[in-house]
Amino acid sequence: MKVHEYQAKAILSAFGIPVPRSGVAATPEEARRIAQDMGGNVVVKAQIHAGGRGMAGGVKAVSSPQEAETVAKGLLGQRLITHQTGPEGAPVNRVLLEEPAQIAKEYYLAVIIDSGARCPVIMASEAGGMEIEEVAATAPEKILRANVDPIIGLQPFQCRNLAYGLNLPADLIRPAAALIANLYKVFEDKDCSLAEINPLAITSDGQLMALDAKLNFDDDALSRHPDIQELRDTGQEDPLEVEASEFGISYVKLDGDVGCMVNGAGLAMATMDSISMADAMPANFLDVGGGATEEQVAQAFKLLISDPQVKRILVNVFGGILRCDVAARGIVAASQETEAKVPIVVRMLGTNADEGKDILAKSGLGVILVNDLNEAALMIKQAASAS
Ligand code: GDP
Ligand code: MN
């Protein structure tokens, strides 16, 4: 789960990391009032679950409450398109107003999970402010890394090494080491999958300050953090993914046009591979799970077809705990309700497979039944040339 910059900064601040004085506004009038209270000079920042706002016009310095109101008016209620949002952009429903910092230098600091090294890793760079991906591609030697042993935790010497490696002024070595330790504490205590400060700035009066903040949380650990759950802003998420999460269906929107419905995450991955090998692209990942009911299958199927990008459907069910006849009834119910017009290819095996296939064959839906994944891939190819 992602949160907004203002929410992330409140958490960082609670862990002792310095952030600018600020206020959050949902209306232009509120923005004016906050700017007034802060003395007129503020930075107005669009709050969306994506970066790249600076270059997209989502971060603007203003010098009067009136100007803050005008800028807020231009951002609120609009969709901001950055290189991270895709062409549809993300809705701006709040702006953050911050006391402007005089930046002497910008650094990058983050904690992420390195799945290759199987541990959290601290990443730090003197080349902050800009996209870290670009630094990694053009000047990888400018990124310092420290792997953290999850059992013994981040060690003070690692923090000092990083601080020295960043070539900080001598008087900032201790504060920087403490800040790195605090960011790691946020990451660990809140079960983050990413904790990033970019830029971490040295201000002209020689202070370290987090000017931007990004925290992502591990969805599987959210049950331990009711306070974090409350920060969720579903308005920033894909509407189909939000709907799926309400039904307890594991669904991820992708770019292709083959909608897929599978029971089991591993089988879903294998199915997506088969689709790719048939020179097609999956429109989604969808795992209805082992113990799905007819209603859940129907919900999942409706969700799938409500994606306008879906031009053909591949269902791959291996009946175990989920019986094939239950899956078939769910598919038929959903199709009748939505009057789906796209070709549907179904492969069914396992418990009550014959009964399931029979239900589909007699449904009048024109379902194409296949026996294995190769055949399924072939049919998906043909469905493409037919449509
Ligand atoms: P992002 O583009 O979405 O990552 O948004 P950031 O919060 O990182 O803002 C983009 C850039 O705006 C930063 O890299 C800074 O250079 C600049 N910026 C942000 N806040 C301030 C501020 O308080 N004062 C000044 N002078 N620049 C700022
Ligand atoms: Mn940033």
pLDDT digits (tens, 9 = 90+) for 191-213: 999 999 999 999 999 999 999 99
pTM for this entry: 0.85
Q: Which of 211, 214, 215 to mutate to test the pocket of ligand 1 (most atoms within 8 A of CB)?
A: 211
> For position 320, what pLDDT does the model report?
87
Decide: 343 in ligand 1 pocket, CB within 6 A.
Answer: no
Q: How many CB atoms lie within 10 A of CB 275?
A: 25
Answer yes or no: is the C-beta of 43 below 6 A from any ligand 1 atom: yes
* Pocket flag, ligand 1, residue 264 (CB < 6 Å): no
Ligand 2 mean position, distance from CA 50 (Å): 9
Q: How far is the CA of 26 from the centre of ligand 1 (A)?
A: 20
Which homologous superfamily is 21-98 in?
ATP-grasp fold, A domain (3.30.1490.20)
Domain 103-229 sits in CATH at 3.30.470.20
Q: Verify whether ligand 1 is closer than 6 Å to residue 101 (CB atom).
A: yes
**Ligand 1: which of 41, 59, 107 to mutate, judged by most atoms within 8 Å of the beta carbon?**
59
Give CA–CA dist 359/327, Å, rounded: 10
**Tally of CB atoms within 10 A around 239:** 11
Query: What is the Cα–Cα distance from 263 to 291, expressed in whole angstroms?
Result: 9
Atom of ligand 1 nearest to the CA of 103: 26
Q: Using a 6 Å cutoff on CB, does residue 4 contact ligand 1?
A: no
Domain boundaries for CATH 3.30.1490.20 within the chain: 21-98
Query: Where exactly does CATH 3.30.470.20 map onto the chain?
Result: 103-229
Residue ranges in the chain modelled with pLDDT below 70: 385-387
Amino acid at 321: I
Which protein residue's CA is at the shortest distance from atom 10 of ligand 1? 54
CB 210 near ligand 1, within 6 Å: no
Give distance in angstroms: CA of 211 to centre of ligand 1: 6
Ligand located closest to 110 CA: 2
Distance of CA 348 to the CA centre of its chain: 33
Three-state DSSP class for 154? Answer: coil
Instruction: Give the residue numbers marked as catalytic.
Output: 108, 196
The pLDDT assigned to 273 comes to 94
Number of Cβ atoms within 10 Å of the Cβ of 379: 21
Give ranges for CATH 3.40.50.261 in the chain: 240-386
Which ligand ends up closest to the CA of 107?
1
pLDDT score for 367? 93
Ligand 1, atom 16: nearest CA belongs to which residue?
Answer: 129
What integer pLDDT is reported at residue 386 of this predicted model? Answer: 64
CA distance 98 to 212: 11
Helices 353-361 and 324-338, axial angle in degrees (round to 10) = 20
**Ligand 1 centre distance from Cα of residue 96 (Å):** 12
Q: Which atom of ligand 1 is nearest to the CA of 100?
A: 23
**Domain covering 240-386, topology:** Rossmann fold (3.40.50)
| C-alpha 165 – ligand 1 centre gap (Å) | 24
CA 123 – CA 112 distance, rounded (Å) = 8
Query: Minimum-distance ligand to the CA of 47?
Result: 1
Instruction: Tell me, using a 6 A CB cutoff, whether residue 51 lines ligand 1.
Output: yes
State the Cα–Cα distance between residues 132 and 128, nearest whole angstrom: 7
